[in-house]
Structure 1
């Protein structure tokens, strides 16, 4: 051991060694920062994936429920038309009449 090693503040350091030490410390800090950012991004991606999965599951449930409601309404409408088709014929005739009147005015 040298006397210069005991008294670091008194030791004259080579500028290249100082730069090399700073670069080494900078590399160490950048690796640490890279690990922290990677870990945080992984956590965020995992949470986002879970949220999207939950949303899609809920959307599928709502879509199935809406399809069921639409199916029941369509069956009821078909049964009502079979019982009494005159209101449907009147509505369709009125729509066609209005459509033809509006297109003639232009």
Structure 2
């Protein structure tokens, strides 16, 4: 207990600057607390986001490999069909060439 507390008549009036300084100090403490909480939460969100993107990329790679395998099998099947009977391919190429030349003349 301080001597000033015993004699209330002699007690100093509260200085507004001291009250303001105390409020500013409290705001600084609260700001530090909020900043720490936000940085912790931001780290958690970034980690979760990274995990999700990683999962998506693995799924996309797996599906891309699957599609590439299917395309490869279909290309081999098509090449074998052309080896057995090249007439339909020649007819398609001739038709495309004919259409291209007709369309080029119109311009």
Question: TM-score normalised to the size of structure 2?
Answer: 0.89
Give the RMSD, CA atoms, in angstroms: 1.8
CA deviations 1:43-97 (Å, max 9, x no partner) are 1101100000000000000000000000000000000000000100000100010
Alignment correspondent of 2:2 = 2
Counterpart for residue 42 of structure 1: 43
How many angstroms apart in 2 are the aligned matches of 1:5 and 1:66? Answer: 84
Aligned-pair CA distance for 1:2: 2.3
Instruction: Look up the SS of the partner of 1:54 in the other structure.
Output: helix
- Structure 2 gap ranges (5+): none
| C-alpha displacement of 1:3 | 5.8
Q: Which runs of no fewer than 5 residues in structure 1 stay unpaired? A: none
Superposition map of 1:1-106 within 5 A? 1-2=1-2, 4-5=4-5, 12-106=13-107
Aligned residues: 104
SS in 2 for 1:13: coil
Q: CA 1:5/1:96 → structure 2, altered by over 3 Å: closer, same or farther?
A: farther
Give every structure 1 segment of 4 or more consecutive aligned residues whose post-TM-superposition deviation is greater than 4 Å.
Answer: 3-7
- SS at the partner of 2:66? helix
